[in-house]
Structure 1
Amino acid sequence: MRASYIEDAEQWERGFEFHADVSVRFSETDMYGHLNNTKVFAYFEYARIEYLKDLNHMAKWLDPKGLTIPIVADLQCDFVKQVYFDEKLRIYVKANSMGNSSVDLHYMAKNERNEIVCTGRGAIVQVGRKDGKPVAWTEEEKLVFLKNS
Protein backbone atom coordinates (compact mmCIF):
# COMPACT_ATOMS: atom_id res chain seq x y z
CA MET A 1 0.00 0.00 0.00
CA ARG A 2 1.34 3.40 -0.98
CA ALA A 3 -1.39 5.73 0.22
CA SER A 4 0.14 9.00 1.43
CA TYR A 5 -2.08 9.07 4.54
CA ILE A 6 -0.72 5.72 5.83
CA GLU A 7 2.65 5.96 7.54
CA ASP A 8 2.94 2.56 9.21
CA ALA A 9 0.55 0.11 7.49
CA GLU A 10 0.53 -2.48 10.28
CA GLN A 11 -0.09 0.06 13.02
CA TRP A 12 -2.70 1.83 10.87
CA GLU A 13 -4.55 -1.44 10.23
CA ARG A 14 -4.55 -2.39 13.93
CA GLY A 15 -6.25 0.91 14.77
CA PHE A 16 -9.59 -0.09 13.24
CA GLU A 17 -12.37 -1.53 15.37
CA PHE A 18 -15.70 -0.51 13.83
CA HIS A 19 -16.86 -2.11 10.59
CA ALA A 20 -19.94 -2.50 8.41
CA ASP A 21 -20.48 -5.42 6.05
CA VAL A 22 -21.53 -5.08 2.41
CA SER A 23 -22.05 -7.48 -0.50
CA VAL A 24 -21.14 -6.51 -4.03
CA ARG A 25 -24.34 -6.44 -6.08
CA PHE A 26 -24.46 -7.32 -9.77
CA SER A 27 -25.58 -3.79 -10.65
CA GLU A 28 -22.38 -2.44 -9.04
CA THR A 29 -20.09 -4.28 -11.45
CA ASP A 30 -18.85 -3.47 -14.94
CA MET A 31 -19.00 -5.70 -18.02
CA TYR A 32 -15.92 -7.59 -16.77
CA GLY A 33 -17.53 -8.40 -13.42
CA HIS A 34 -15.31 -5.96 -11.48
CA LEU A 35 -16.72 -3.64 -8.87
CA ASN A 36 -17.17 -0.23 -10.52
CA ASN A 37 -14.66 2.15 -8.97
CA THR A 38 -17.32 4.74 -8.11
CA LYS A 39 -19.33 2.31 -5.97
CA VAL A 40 -16.67 2.18 -3.26
CA PHE A 41 -17.66 5.71 -2.25
CA ALA A 42 -21.20 4.48 -1.55
CA TYR A 43 -19.71 1.72 0.63
CA PHE A 44 -17.66 4.33 2.49
CA GLU A 45 -20.82 6.40 2.96
CA TYR A 46 -22.76 3.44 4.34
CA ALA A 47 -19.96 2.51 6.77
CA ARG A 48 -19.47 6.16 7.78
CA ILE A 49 -23.14 6.58 8.64
CA GLU A 50 -23.19 3.32 10.61
CA TYR A 51 -20.04 4.45 12.44
CA LEU A 52 -21.57 7.84 13.27
CA LYS A 53 -24.77 6.14 14.46
CA ASP A 54 -22.64 3.87 16.65
CA LEU A 55 -21.01 6.98 18.17
CA ASN A 56 -24.50 8.46 18.69
CA HIS A 57 -23.79 11.47 16.47
CA MET A 58 -26.48 10.85 13.86
CA ALA A 59 -29.42 11.42 16.23
CA LYS A 60 -28.75 15.14 16.61
CA TRP A 61 -28.04 15.57 12.89
CA LEU A 62 -31.25 13.79 11.90
CA ASP A 63 -33.37 15.77 14.37
CA PRO A 64 -35.37 18.29 12.29
CA LYS A 65 -34.91 20.77 15.14
CA GLY A 66 -31.16 20.13 15.29
CA LEU A 67 -28.81 23.02 14.65
CA THR A 68 -25.97 21.19 12.87
CA ILE A 69 -25.42 18.72 10.03
CA PRO A 70 -22.32 16.92 8.71
CA ILE A 71 -21.00 17.49 5.21
CA VAL A 72 -18.30 15.59 3.35
CA ALA A 73 -15.47 18.00 2.58
CA ASP A 74 -13.28 15.58 0.65
CA LEU A 75 -13.04 11.86 -0.02
CA GLN A 76 -10.46 9.64 -1.67
CA CYS A 77 -9.94 5.96 -2.33
CA ASP A 78 -6.84 3.94 -3.13
CA PHE A 79 -7.48 0.59 -4.81
CA VAL A 80 -5.32 -2.37 -3.78
CA LYS A 81 -7.03 -5.49 -5.20
CA GLN A 82 -9.81 -6.18 -7.66
CA VAL A 83 -13.27 -6.88 -6.27
CA TYR A 84 -15.95 -8.93 -8.03
CA PHE A 85 -19.69 -9.55 -7.98
CA ASP A 86 -21.03 -11.30 -4.87
CA GLU A 87 -17.91 -10.75 -2.78
CA LYS A 88 -18.53 -9.91 0.87
CA LEU A 89 -16.59 -6.91 2.10
CA ARG A 90 -15.99 -5.55 5.56
CA ILE A 91 -15.65 -1.76 5.50
CA TYR A 92 -13.75 -0.41 8.50
CA VAL A 93 -13.93 3.22 9.67
CA LYS A 94 -11.98 5.16 12.28
CA ALA A 95 -11.39 8.77 13.25
CA ASN A 96 -7.79 9.57 12.43
CA SER A 97 -7.56 13.20 13.53
CA MET A 98 -9.78 16.02 14.72
CA GLY A 99 -9.99 19.63 13.74
CA ASN A 100 -12.07 22.32 15.39
CA SER A 101 -15.19 21.42 13.39
CA SER A 102 -13.88 18.58 11.21
CA VAL A 103 -12.82 14.98 11.60
CA ASP A 104 -10.57 13.07 9.22
CA LEU A 105 -11.97 9.56 8.82
CA HIS A 106 -9.98 6.63 7.46
CA TYR A 107 -11.43 3.61 5.69
CA MET A 108 -10.19 0.10 5.02
CA ALA A 109 -12.08 -2.53 3.03
CA LYS A 110 -11.23 -6.22 3.38
CA ASN A 111 -12.53 -9.24 1.51
CA GLU A 112 -13.47 -12.61 2.98
CA ARG A 113 -9.82 -13.71 2.76
CA ASN A 114 -8.97 -10.82 5.10
CA GLU A 115 -7.07 -9.06 2.29
CA ILE A 116 -7.18 -5.30 2.04
CA VAL A 117 -8.90 -4.42 -1.23
CA CYS A 118 -8.95 -0.64 -0.84
CA THR A 119 -8.19 2.12 1.61
CA GLY A 120 -9.47 5.65 1.87
CA ARG A 121 -9.76 8.81 3.83
CA GLY A 122 -12.01 11.82 3.93
CA ALA A 123 -12.96 14.76 6.08
CA ILE A 124 -16.41 15.59 7.34
CA VAL A 125 -17.22 19.02 8.71
CA GLN A 126 -20.00 19.86 11.13
CA VAL A 127 -21.84 22.96 9.89
CA GLY A 128 -24.79 25.05 10.95
CA ARG A 129 -28.01 23.85 9.36
CA LYS A 130 -29.15 27.40 8.60
CA ASP A 131 -25.96 29.21 7.61
CA GLY A 132 -23.63 26.40 6.47
CA LYS A 133 -20.77 27.75 8.57
CA PRO A 134 -18.47 25.40 10.52
CA VAL A 135 -19.58 24.60 14.06
CA ALA A 136 -16.96 23.47 16.57
CA TRP A 137 -17.19 20.05 18.16
CA THR A 138 -17.94 20.03 21.85
CA GLU A 139 -15.26 18.55 24.09
CA GLU A 140 -17.57 15.59 24.70
CA GLU A 141 -17.95 14.98 20.94
CA LYS A 142 -14.18 15.15 20.47
CA LEU A 143 -13.67 12.62 23.24
CA VAL A 144 -16.18 10.22 21.69
CA PHE A 145 -14.34 10.34 18.35
CA LEU A 146 -10.89 10.04 19.84
CA LYS A 147 -11.90 7.27 22.25
CA ASN A 148 -13.14 5.24 19.30
CA SER A 149 -10.17 5.82 17.02
Structure 2
Amino acid sequence: MYKKVIEPRVSETDGVGHINNTTIPIWFEAARNDLFKLFNPDSSFTNWKMIILNMNVDYLSQIYFGRNVTVHTWVKRIGNSSLDLYEELWQGDRLCARGTATYVNFNQENQKSEPITDSIRRQLESHLYEGEESIE
Protein backbone atom coordinates (compact mmCIF):
# COMPACT_ATOMS: atom_id res chain seq x y z
CA MET A 1 0.00 0.00 0.00
CA TYR A 2 1.10 3.52 -0.78
CA LYS A 3 0.29 6.08 1.91
CA LYS A 4 0.11 9.88 1.65
CA VAL A 5 -0.82 12.41 4.36
CA ILE A 6 -2.45 15.57 3.05
CA GLU A 7 -3.10 18.78 4.95
CA PRO A 8 -6.40 20.30 3.75
CA ARG A 9 -6.19 23.93 2.63
CA VAL A 10 -8.64 26.72 3.36
CA SER A 11 -9.19 27.17 -0.38
CA GLU A 12 -10.48 23.58 -0.59
CA THR A 13 -13.23 24.29 1.94
CA ASP A 14 -16.64 25.17 0.52
CA GLY A 15 -19.47 27.38 1.72
CA VAL A 16 -21.01 24.73 3.97
CA GLY A 17 -17.76 24.18 5.87
CA HIS A 18 -16.45 20.92 4.49
CA ILE A 19 -13.86 20.03 1.85
CA ASN A 20 -15.36 20.38 -1.61
CA ASN A 21 -16.07 17.11 -3.45
CA THR A 22 -14.00 18.23 -6.45
CA THR A 23 -10.89 18.14 -4.25
CA ILE A 24 -11.01 14.39 -3.51
CA PRO A 25 -9.97 13.19 -7.00
CA ILE A 26 -7.04 15.64 -6.84
CA TRP A 27 -5.94 14.22 -3.48
CA PHE A 28 -6.25 10.67 -4.82
CA GLU A 29 -4.01 11.62 -7.74
CA ALA A 30 -1.48 13.30 -5.42
CA ALA A 31 -1.18 10.01 -3.53
CA ARG A 32 -0.20 8.22 -6.78
CA ASN A 33 3.12 10.06 -7.24
CA ASP A 34 5.24 7.11 -6.04
CA LEU A 35 3.36 4.85 -8.44
CA PHE A 36 3.97 7.29 -11.31
CA LYS A 37 7.70 7.19 -10.54
CA LEU A 38 7.77 3.45 -11.24
CA PHE A 39 6.79 4.17 -14.83
CA ASN A 40 8.51 7.58 -15.15
CA PRO A 41 11.50 7.71 -12.77
CA ASP A 42 12.50 11.23 -13.88
CA SER A 43 8.88 12.52 -13.70
CA SER A 44 9.32 13.98 -17.19
CA PHE A 45 6.23 14.55 -19.31
CA THR A 46 8.33 13.96 -22.44
CA ASN A 47 7.94 10.21 -22.04
CA TRP A 48 4.96 10.04 -19.65
CA LYS A 49 3.50 6.52 -19.48
CA MET A 50 0.52 6.52 -17.12
CA ILE A 51 -2.72 7.47 -18.88
CA ILE A 52 -5.92 7.37 -16.85
CA LEU A 53 -8.84 5.54 -18.45
CA ASN A 54 -11.45 5.60 -15.69
CA MET A 55 -11.96 6.96 -12.19
CA ASN A 56 -14.80 6.55 -9.70
CA VAL A 57 -15.26 8.09 -6.25
CA ASP A 58 -17.69 7.18 -3.48
CA TYR A 59 -18.19 9.97 -0.93
CA LEU A 60 -18.95 8.39 2.45
CA SER A 61 -18.47 11.13 5.06
CA GLN A 62 -17.77 14.85 5.17
CA ILE A 63 -14.13 16.00 5.39
CA TYR A 64 -13.12 19.14 7.29
CA PHE A 65 -10.37 21.72 7.21
CA GLY A 66 -7.94 21.68 10.15
CA ARG A 67 -7.46 17.91 10.32
CA ASN A 68 -5.07 15.98 8.11
CA VAL A 69 -6.31 13.23 5.85
CA THR A 70 -4.51 10.04 4.85
CA VAL A 71 -4.88 8.46 1.43
CA HIS A 72 -4.15 4.76 1.09
CA THR A 73 -3.58 3.44 -2.43
CA TRP A 74 -3.44 -0.22 -3.37
CA VAL A 75 -3.03 -2.05 -6.66
CA LYS A 76 -6.22 -4.02 -7.23
CA ARG A 77 -5.37 -5.69 -10.55
CA ILE A 78 -2.37 -5.86 -12.85
CA GLY A 79 -3.11 -6.64 -16.49
CA ASN A 80 -0.80 -6.92 -19.47
CA SER A 81 -0.63 -3.16 -20.06
CA SER A 82 -3.08 -1.71 -17.52
CA LEU A 83 -3.71 -1.68 -13.79
CA ASP A 84 -6.58 -0.92 -11.45
CA LEU A 85 -6.14 0.97 -8.19
CA TYR A 86 -8.28 0.98 -5.07
CA GLU A 87 -8.00 4.04 -2.81
CA GLU A 88 -9.34 5.11 0.56
CA LEU A 89 -9.29 8.53 2.18
CA TRP A 90 -9.38 8.65 5.97
CA GLN A 91 -9.73 11.57 8.36
CA GLY A 92 -8.90 10.29 11.81
CA ASP A 93 -10.71 7.00 12.25
CA ARG A 94 -13.40 7.73 9.61
CA LEU A 95 -13.36 6.38 6.08
CA CYS A 96 -14.53 9.45 4.18
CA ALA A 97 -14.11 8.48 0.53
CA ARG A 98 -13.01 5.57 -1.56
CA GLY A 99 -12.33 5.22 -5.22
CA THR A 100 -11.00 3.23 -8.09
CA ALA A 101 -8.87 4.23 -11.05
CA THR A 102 -7.69 2.41 -14.16
CA TYR A 103 -4.43 3.36 -15.86
CA VAL A 104 -2.76 2.09 -19.00
CA ASN A 105 0.99 2.01 -19.68
CA PHE A 106 1.03 4.10 -22.86
CA ASN A 107 3.80 4.85 -25.35
CA GLN A 108 3.32 8.46 -26.45
CA GLU A 109 5.55 8.17 -29.50
CA ASN A 110 3.78 5.10 -30.94
CA GLN A 111 0.36 6.12 -29.55
CA LYS A 112 -0.19 2.56 -28.30
CA SER A 113 -0.34 0.79 -24.99
CA GLU A 114 2.64 -1.37 -24.11
CA PRO A 115 3.16 -4.24 -21.66
CA ILE A 116 4.08 -3.49 -18.06
CA THR A 117 7.67 -4.66 -17.58
CA ASP A 118 8.45 -7.55 -15.24
CA SER A 119 10.47 -5.30 -12.92
CA ILE A 120 7.59 -2.82 -12.54
CA ARG A 121 5.12 -5.70 -12.18
CA ARG A 122 7.11 -7.11 -9.23
CA GLN A 123 7.07 -3.72 -7.51
CA LEU A 124 3.33 -3.33 -8.11
CA GLU A 125 2.68 -6.78 -6.67
CA SER A 126 4.07 -5.65 -3.32
CA HIS A 127 1.12 -3.20 -3.11
CA LEU A 128 -1.70 -5.61 -3.99
CA TYR A 129 -5.00 -5.14 -2.15
CA GLU A 130 -5.97 -8.23 -0.20
CA GLY A 131 -9.16 -7.02 1.48
CA GLU A 132 -12.72 -6.53 0.39
CA GLU A 133 -14.27 -3.16 -0.38
CA SER A 134 -17.18 -2.33 1.88
CA ILE A 135 -18.94 0.69 3.30
CA GLU A 136 -18.35 0.96 7.01
State TM-score, norm by structure 1: 0.78
Can you give the 5+ residue segments of structure 2 that lack an aligned partner in the other structure?
A: 129-136
Residue 71 of structure 1 contacts residue 127 of structure 1 at CA under 8 Å; is this kept in 2? yes
| Corresponding residue for residue 60 of structure 2 | 80
Within 1, Cα distance between the matches of 2:90 and 2:49? 29
Within 5 Å, give how 1:39-58 maps onto structure 2.
39-53=23-37, 56-58=38-40
Deviation, structure 1 residue 87: 2.1
Can you give the 5+ residue segments of structure 1 that lack an aligned partner in the other structure?
A: 1-16
Task: In structure 1, give the amino acid aligned to 2:9.
Answer: R
Residue 83 of structure 2 contacts residue 102 of structure 2 at CA under 8 Å; is this kept in 1? yes
Task: Please state if 1:141 is matched with 2:120.
Answer: yes
Residues 23 and 61 of structure 1: is their aligned pair in 2 closer, same or farther, counting only changes over 3 Å? closer
Residues 63 and 84 of structure 1: is their aligned pair in 2 closer, same or farther, counting only changes over 3 Å? closer
| Corresponding residue for residue 132 of structure 2 | none
Within 2, Cα distance between the matches of 1:79 and 1:36? 11
Within 5 Å, give how 1:1-149 maps onto structure 2.
17-53=1-37, 56-59=38-41, 62=44, 64=46, 66=47, 69-112=49-92, 114-149=93-128
List structure 1 runs of 4+ shifted beyond 6 angstroms. Answer: none
Residue 21 of structure 1 contacts residue 90 of structure 1 at CA under 8 Å; is this kept in 2? yes
Residues 84 and 70 of structure 1: is their aligned pair in 2 closer, same or farther, counting only changes over 3 Å? same
Deviation, structure 1 residue 102: 0.5
RMSD of aligned alpha carbons: 1.7
Identical-residue share of aligned pairs (%): 23
Within 2, Cα distance between the matches of 1:45 and 1:125? 15
Q: Secondary structure at the match of 2:31?
A: helix
Within 1, Cα distance between the matches of 2:112 and 2:43? 15
Aligned length: 128
Deviation, structure 1 residue 18: 2.0
| Corresponding residue for residue 133 of structure 2 | none
State TM-score, norm by structure 2: 0.85
Answer 1 or 2: which has greater helix percent. 1
| Corresponding residue for residue 131 of structure 2 | none
Q: More displaced, 43-52 or 69-78?
A: 43-52
Residue 56 of structure 2 contacts residue 100 of structure 2 at CA under 8 Å; is this kept in 1? yes
